[in-house]
């Protein structure tokens, strides 16, 4: 089992920044790839970013590319999502998730690829 706990959400004005953290416990953190997803009100959960276990590969989809950056510190068992130039449409509950196995660019975008999920942290961007 891997337990994931997100933190760092909050209320921010448009154009501002937030850094979300995802702290893991239970297993060797570097064995797990980490993904960030978000769910906005009335919408399905969508992929935001992913990073491989050792941090050598990342994927960020076009809607947030250039504004969001994913990273990890395996010594601290923590992954991060740095969000800059936030927009009101970034308002959502943000979740981190983990899986092990092969890291494929197309697979890391899929919710079903992930075995473990955090409880989410709310991000609200005001206009």
* pLDDT of the residue at 1: 87
The tally of CA atoms less than 13 A away on the side-chain side of residue 37 is 21
* pLDDT of the residue at 101: 87
- Tell the burial category of 117 from Cβ atoms under 10 Å away from its Cβ (0-12, 13-18, 19+): middle
pLDDT in tens, the chain (127 residues): 899 999 999 999 999 999 999 999 988 999 999 999 999 999 999 999 999 999 999 999 999 999 999 999 999 999 999 999 999 999 999 999 999 988 988 899 999 999 999 999 999 999 9
């Amino acid at each position: 089992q891997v337990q994931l706990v997100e933190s760092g959400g909050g209320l921010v004005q448009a154009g501002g920044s937030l850094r979300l953290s995802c702290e893991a416990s239970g297993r060797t953190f570097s064995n797990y790839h980490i993904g960030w997803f978000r769910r906005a009100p009335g919408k399905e959960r969508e992929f935001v970013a992913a990073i491989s276990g050792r941090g050598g590969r990342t994927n960020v989809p076009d809607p947030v590319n250039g504004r969001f950056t994913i990273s990890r510190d395996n010594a601290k068992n923590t992954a991060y999502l740095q969000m800059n130039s936030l927009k009101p449409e970034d308002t959502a509950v943000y979740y981190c998730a983990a899986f092990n196995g092969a890291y494929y660019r197309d697979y890391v975008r899929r919710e079903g690829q992930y075995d473990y999920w955090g409880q989410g942290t709310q991000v609200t961007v005001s206009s």
